[in-house]
C-alpha cells in the first residue's frame, strides 16, 4: 500500500507539472499572437493603403465593409449605424483581439503629401465629418525638428480658394510652433468646407526660430498630426505622412 501511495503521489506531481507546462505554453501563445497599434505596420505603400481603407471605413460609417487586413490582423468595422459619433473596429490575430475607435475628422488623403517641398508642406484633407463645416483654426503637431510655420493657405478643390487663412505677420511676427492653435487671422471670408469635399492645405516656410530672421528648415522627413476645428467643435486628429506619402 505504501508503495502504491508513493506511485500515485509521483503520478499526481507529474500531472501537475505537465498541466503547468501546457498552461504556460498557452499563455505564451496568447502573448505571441498579440499585435501592435494600427500605425505600427510595415512601411510599404500596400500597408498604408490598407490602413487608409480601414480608417476611411471607420470615419464614413460604411454599413457593410469588407474585413480589412492590416499588420497581420483582420479588422471588421462595427457600430456604424444610428449616427454614432464614435465608431469602432475589432481586429483579430490568432487568440488576440484589439478594438480601435475613431472620431469624425478632416482626414488626410493618403499619398497626397507632395514630396521634395523642403521647407513647405502641401497636403490634402477630406471632410468626412458628414456635414459642411466652417473652419476657424488648425492645430498642427510635429516632432523631430525645431521649426516654426509662417503661413497657412487653404483651397477647397472645385470650390473656393481662400488663400492665406493664417500668417505670422498678422500674429505680431510670431510663427506657429508645434502644438499651437492657428486661429485664422487674415480677415478673409468664413472658410466653408462642404461635406465630402477635399481641401488643399499649404503650410509655408518653416523656419528655425519663432521670430526674426531664421534659416528655412527642411520638413520632408517630418510627419505631422493635424486637427481641424470650428468655433464650437474640435475634430479628431489625422496623421500626415512624410513627403511623398
| Residue of 111, 133, 98, 93 lying closest to 48 (CA atoms) | 111
Quick one: 133 and 150 in the same domain? yes
Check which CATH number belongs to the domain holding 149 and give it. 2.60.40
Residue 107 pLDDT: 82
Helix or strand holding residue 17 (H, E): helix 2-32
What residues in the chain have per-residue pLDDT under 70?
1-104
Domain-embedded: residue 245: no
Backbone angles phi, psi at 35, to 5 degrees: -140, 160
Residue 11 pLDDT: 39
Quick one: 116 and 221 in the same domain? yes
Domain-embedded: residue 143: yes
87, 102, 117 — which closes off a domain?
102
β-sheet bridge partners, residue 124: 200
Quick one: 191 and 124 in the same domain? yes
pLDDT tens for each residue of 81-119: 444 444 455 555 555 555 555 566 788 887 889 989 999
CB 142 within 8 A of CB 221: no
Quick one: 86 and 173 in the same domain? no
Residue 191 pLDDT: 98
Quick one: 84 and 116 in the same domain? no
Domain-embedded: residue 114: yes
Domain-embedded: residue 3: no
Domain-embedded: residue 92: yes
102, 130, 149 — which closes off a domain?
102
CB count within 10 Å of CB 213 equals 7
CB 134 within 8 A of CB 191: yes
CB 193 within 8 A of CB 106: yes
Range of the structural domain that residue 92 is part of:
38-102
Using CA atoms, how far apart are residues 198 and 157, in angstroms rounded to an integer? Answer: 6
Quick one: 192 and 173 in the same domain? yes
| Residue of 126, 130, 76, 145 lying closest to 238 (CA atoms) | 126
Residue 98 pLDDT: 52
User: What residues contact 76, with CB distance under 8 A and at least 6 apart?
Assistant: 65, 67, 68, 89, 90, 91
Quick one: 44 and 118 in the same domain? no
Residue with cell 502644438: 179
Residue with cell 487653404: 154
Quick one: 122 and 236 in the same domain? yes
Residue 100 pLDDT: 52
Domain-embedded: residue 33: no
> How many folded domains does the chain comprise?
2
Residue 238 pLDDT: 82
Quick one: 221 and 114 in the same domain? yes
Residue 43 pLDDT: 39
Alpha-carbon distances, residue 95 vs 29, 34, 112, 114 (angstroms):
8, 8, 36, 40
Domain-embedded: residue 23: no
Residue 95 pLDDT: 55
Quick one: 197 and 229 in the same domain? yes
Quick one: 227 and 153 in the same domain? yes
| Residue of 118, 173, 181, 114 lying closest to 145 (CA atoms) | 118
Quick one: 138 and 53 in the same domain? no
DSSP secondary structure, 81-93, as one string:
STT-SSEEEEEEE
Domain-embedded: residue 18: no
Residue 105 burial by Cβ neighbours in a 10 Å radius (0-12, 13-18, 19+): buried
Using CA atoms, how far apart are residues 92 and 34, in angstroms rounded to an integer? Answer: 9
Amino acid at each position: 500500500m505504501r508503495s502504491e501511495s508513493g506511485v500515485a503521489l509521483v503520478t499526481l506531481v507529474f500531472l501537475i507539472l505537465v498541466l503547468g507546462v501546457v498552461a504556460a505554453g498557452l499563455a505564451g501563445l496568447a502573448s505571441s499572437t498579440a499585435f501592435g497599434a494600427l500605425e505600427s505596420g510595415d512601411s510599404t505603400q500596400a500597408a498604408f493603403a490598407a490602413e487608409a481603407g480601414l480608417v476611411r471605413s471607420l470615419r464614413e460609417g460604411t454599413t457593410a465593409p469588407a474585413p480589412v487586413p492590416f499588420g497581420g490582423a483582420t479588422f471588421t468595422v462595427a457600430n456604424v449605424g444610428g449616427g454614432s459619433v464614435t465608431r469602432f473596429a475589432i481586429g483579430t490575430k490568432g487568440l488576440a483581439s484589439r478594438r480601435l475607435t475613431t472620431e469624425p475628422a478632416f482626414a488626410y488623403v493618403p499619398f497626397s503629401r507632395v514630396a521634395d517641398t523642403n521647407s513647405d508642406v502641401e497636403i490634402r484633407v477630406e471632410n468626412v465629418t458628414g456635414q459642411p463645416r466652417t473652419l476657424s483654426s488648425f492645430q498642427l503637431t510635429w516632432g523631430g525638428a525645431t521649426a516654426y510655420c509662417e503661413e497657412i493657405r487653404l483651397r477647397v478643390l472645385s470650390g473656393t480658394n481662400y488663400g492665406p487663412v493664417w500668417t505670422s505677420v498678422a500674429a505680431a511676427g510670431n510663427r506657429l510652433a508645434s502644438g499651437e492653435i492657428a486661429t485664422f487671422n487674415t480677415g478673409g471670408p468664413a472658410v466653408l468646407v462642404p461635406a465630402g469635399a477635399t481641401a488643399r492645405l499649404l503650410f509655408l516656410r518653416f523656419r528655425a526660430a519663432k521670430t526674426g530672421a531664421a534659416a528655412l528648415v527642411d520638413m520632408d522627413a517630418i510627419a505631422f498630426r493635424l486637427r481641424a476645428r470650428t468655433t464650437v467643435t474640435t475634430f479628431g486628429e489625422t496623421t500626415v505622412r512624410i513627403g511623398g506619402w
